[in-house]
């Protein structure tokens, strides 16, 4: 969670993930204050409280209401109420959020297969969590515009243990505390930007802070599910401000699929790359990408696929969860490499 700022430009939160139990039946429970790491259910909502050190508290109230306060002694803290599993539902929330320093309020969750950590950021303090990240586009929904970003965590804690995974972000340009979050619109915009989600794990309206102080008083509830046939309130605008360091979309596999290569980060002696795989006009049951690496470049670790080697001409085939694609559907795989990744080429064929 927030402490990841130490090594990444985006401001993700690194609360130790927990396994959560299902929601209990609806019944009135007394207010409950927690000051140590715990998860569970309260008045029909899943809750999580995590802090790195002692300096915060959370009081769970009726329904989806909670209040929280923290100081710098907490170091890192994230608390909230929500659901397990999460979904593309509509979320309503209201309340207050007071931040002194580095903190933000967001809808936060995880998926598996692929493993994704995601944020819909409603407001933040002195640090914009999009600082230094590549903007992929934007989505206009619920009376505001959110910028879309993707970052990556390599060999970091997650809900399945230490892993390499992507983080998806929608960061609201017009800060607010209170309103409706049409989650389906963000998920659709991410997919149109090539960001694929998996099976949903938990999802909370989270109060988060890093080496800061503040307080919040939040009530969250589930709204009506939006129609999937039309989304007139939503528009997705591709970003034109950033050009990937290296990209190519070659003809491949008789039109069964295409592949696009891009560098997501690059440094002296290493790089991280992403490859989007998009089905053609017909569904496919599997894919394989021919990846031609520049001289001296090697793959150190690869995710969301299986590679035949680590240098030169490499074939990457789909993982067991991202091979079947509908017409024009996009998935991706990525890898961390040594050397320089500039100039790599890719082509795609059905498998």
Mean pLDDT, rounded, of the chain: 83
Q: pLDDT category, 236, cuts 50, 70, 90?
A: low
Q: Which of 23, 47, 331 is nearest to 198 (CA)?
A: 331
Cβ–Cβ under 8 Å, residues 197 and 88: no
Q: Tell me which of 247 and 41 has the higher pLDDT.
A: 41
Query: What pLDDT is attached to residue 135?
Result: 87
Lowest-confidence region among 137-146, 224-233, 338-347: 224-233
pLDDT attached to residue 230? 33
Candidates 51, 52, 122, 208; catalytic one:
208
Is the confidence at residue 94, as pLDDT, over 90? Answer: yes
pLDDT over 90, % of the chain? 54
**Is 141 within 8 Å of 114 (Cβ atoms)?**
no
- Contact indicator for 53, 35 with CB cutoff of 8 Å: no
Percentage of the chain with pLDDT > 70?
84
Residue 8 has pLDDT above 50, yes or no: no
Residue 241 has pLDDT above 50, yes or no: no
Determine whether 51 is an active site residue.
no
What dihedral do alpha carbons 212, 218, 222, 224 form, nearest 10°? -110
To 10 degrees, the CA torsion angle through 22, 163, 54, 50? -20
pLDDT at 132 over 80: no
pLDDT beyond 50 at 231: no
pLDDT digit string (tens) for 298-337? 998 888 889 998 999 999 999 887 888 888 888 888 888 8
Identify the pLDDT of residue 214. 96
**3-class DSSP state of 251:** coil
- Catalytic, out of 51, 52, 117, 122: 117
pLDDT of residue 281: 85
d(CA 107, CA 92): 11
pLDDT digits (tens, 9 = 90+) for 159-196: 888 888 999 999 999 999 999 999 999 999 999 888 99
C-beta atoms surrounding 307 within 10 Å? 16
* Highest mean pLDDT, choosing among 11-20, 216-225, 250-259: 216-225
Spell 248-258 as b/e; 16+ CB within 10 A means b. eeeebbeebbb
Confidence of residue 62 (pLDDT cuts 50, 70, 90): very high
Respond yes or no on whether the N-terminal peptide bond of residue 114 is cis (omega within 30° of 0). yes
- Which of 167, 330, 195 shows the shortest CA–CA distance to 258? 330
Distance, in Å, from the CA atom of 10 to the CA atom of 246, rounded to the nearest integer, reads 22
Angle at 185 between CA 142 and CA 224, to 5 degrees: 70
Phi/psi of residue 294, nearest 5 degrees = -65, 160
Nearest CA-CA partner of 82 in 57, 105, 104:
105
Q: Which tops the pLDDT comparison, 303 or 110?
A: 110
**CB-count burial class (<10 Å; 0-12, 13-18, 19+) for 294:** middle
* pLDDT per position as a tens digit, 73-86: 998 898 999 999 99
pLDDT at residue 9 tops 50: no
Residue 249 · residue 50 · CB < 8 Å: no
* Residue 222 falls in the annotated catalytic set: no
Say if pTM beats, i.e. exceeds, 0.85: no
Mean pLDDT in residue range 265-293: 88
> Average pLDDT of 268-281?
86
Of 261, 298, 291, nearest in space to 277 by CA:
261
Q: What is the per-residue pLDDT for 225?
A: 56
Q: What is the C-alpha separation between 327 and 281, in angstroms, rounded?
A: 5
Q: Which residue has the higher pLDDT, 296 or 4?
A: 296
Range 26-32 average pLDDT: 80
Would you state the pLDDT for residue 237? Answer: 54
């Amino acid at each position: 969670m927030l402490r990841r700022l130490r090594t990444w430009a985006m401001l993700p939160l690194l609360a130790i993930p927990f396994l959560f139990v299902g929601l209990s039946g609806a019944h009135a429970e007394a207010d409950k204050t927690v000051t140590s790491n715990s998860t569970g259910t309260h008045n029909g909502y899943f809750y999580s409280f995590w802090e790195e050190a002692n300096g915060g508290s959370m009081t769970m109230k009726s329904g989806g209401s909670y209040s929280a306060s923290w100081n710098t002694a907490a170091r890192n803290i994230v608390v909230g109420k929500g659901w397990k599993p999460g979904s593309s539902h509509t979320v309503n929330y209201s309340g207050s959020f007071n931040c002194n320093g580095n903190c933000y309020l967001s809808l936060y969750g995880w998926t598996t297969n692929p493993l994704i950590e995601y944020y819909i950021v409603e407001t933040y303090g002195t640090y914009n969590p999009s600082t230094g990240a590549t903007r992929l586009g934007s989505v206009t929904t619920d009376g505001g515009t959110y910028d879309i970003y993707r970052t990556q965590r390599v060999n970091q804690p997650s809900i399945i243990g230490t892993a390499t995974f992507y983080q998806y972000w929608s960061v609201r340009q017009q800060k607010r505390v209170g309103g409706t979050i049409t989650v389906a619109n963000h998920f659709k915009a991410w997919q149109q930007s090539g960001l694929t989600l998996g099976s949903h794990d938990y999802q909370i309206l989270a109060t988060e802070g890093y080496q800061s102080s503040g307080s919040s008083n939040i009530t969250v509830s589930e709204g009506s599910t939006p129609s999937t046939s039309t989304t007139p309130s939503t528009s997705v605008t591709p970003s034109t401000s950033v050009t990937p360091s290296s990209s190519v979309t070659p003809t491949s596999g008789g039109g069964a699929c295409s592949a696009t290569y891009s560098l997501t980060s690059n440094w002296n002696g290493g790089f991280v790359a992403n490859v989007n795989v998009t089905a053609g006009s017909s569904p496919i049951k599997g894919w394989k990408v021919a990846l031609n690496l520049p001289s001296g470049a090697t793959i150190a670790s690869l995710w969301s696929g299986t590679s035949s080697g680590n240098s030169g001409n490499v074939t990457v085939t789909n993982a067991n969860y991202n091979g079947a694609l509908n017409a024009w559907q996009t998935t991706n795989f990525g890898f961390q490499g040594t050397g320089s990744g500039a100039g790599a080429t890719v082509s795609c064929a059905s498998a």
